[in-house]
Homo-oligomer: A and B are copies of this chain.
């Protein structure tokens, strides 16, 4: 019998389609993507090619001249930015229906490793830590710009996840608006706070821990789980146990633990599902709401194992062919 399940943080429903169900082991594969070399001379993100990107805004390294090799993590403006750091945030109306504004904002690339094949699941903990520290550092630098309203840090891994360059990298986009999609979630969280004086995400994490059916990893500081209303197979959330709205405020000791947790989580996915394409997104409160208690920063990982089709695009209802209880149990037991 198929089920409809409601995501309590968005009020959206998903269909858990048991009639077309796949078992977790249907996704197992030993076939991985073709291995990449550790260096590609024509890759703009490989060491030695620093002049092919816009000048860096951050690099972690021991000692070197800016924009030369010798870095471990490097952040540069995106050469083909979706938003740029020019223009005004004044909206232009051309009648009621044609509202627009300059595409003002920031779009950066976080090059995660000097190695062309440097995948997070195979890195040392320390290396993952520096990626997360770079995220946090750029977040905190950019949030000072009064035009920045929301900062989204995300990673596209693989073609069907939208990446165009193989060299491991993440991206950061700072927008001059808070999109409706985020405001709607924020409304749900605010209304929950009005009723309970508590954070809806913290309560959800607590309930997930109590039910103990969908937990993948639990540490002192973090919980990794497949949410009750997972939209797609192996959708994974990493949530902190400590309430904190903004990723910018995560203390360094937590970043250390997060690095280990993120790496382990991605390794389980990498090793079992054959290095699948995936996205992850760091969800964090809008900049002006950083100190409010309604929201919990967290990471959502979406392996791209299914396709958004007309039904999803038209209704907003996702069809998931797996039970998160089953996928969580399965992936929990994968050795790392």
Contact = CB atoms under 8 A, between A and B. Distances in A.
B4 A100 contact: yes
Contacts of A280: 310
B315 A175 contact: yes
Interface string A175-188: 11101111010000
Interface stretch (A39-47, A60-68, A75-83, A140-148): A75-83
A111 interface: no
Given A8-B96, A12-B180, A279 B317 contact: no
Copies of the chain in the assembly: 2
Interface in A99-158: 99-103, 150, 152, 154-156
B228 A98 contact: yes
B5 A99 contact: yes
Contact of A19 (B1, B84, B96, B312): B84
B184 A184 contact: yes
Interface stretch (A265-273, A287-295, A301-309): A301-309
A173 interface: yes
A82 B313 contact: no
A4 B281 contact: no
Given A207-B96, A317-B175, A156 B309 contact: yes
Contacts of A175: 315, 317
A279 B10 CA distance: 25
Interface of A: 1-6, 8, 10-13, 15-20, 80-84, 86-87, 95-103, 150, 152, 154-156, 159-163, 171, 173, 175-177, 179-182, 184, 203-204, 207-208, 211, 228, 279-283, 300, 302, 307-317, 319
15 contacts: A1-B86, A2-B84, A2-B102, A3-B100, A5-B100, A10-B180, A13-B180, A19-B80, A97-B207, A150-B315, A154-B309, A154-B313, A300-B314, A302-B313, A308-B308
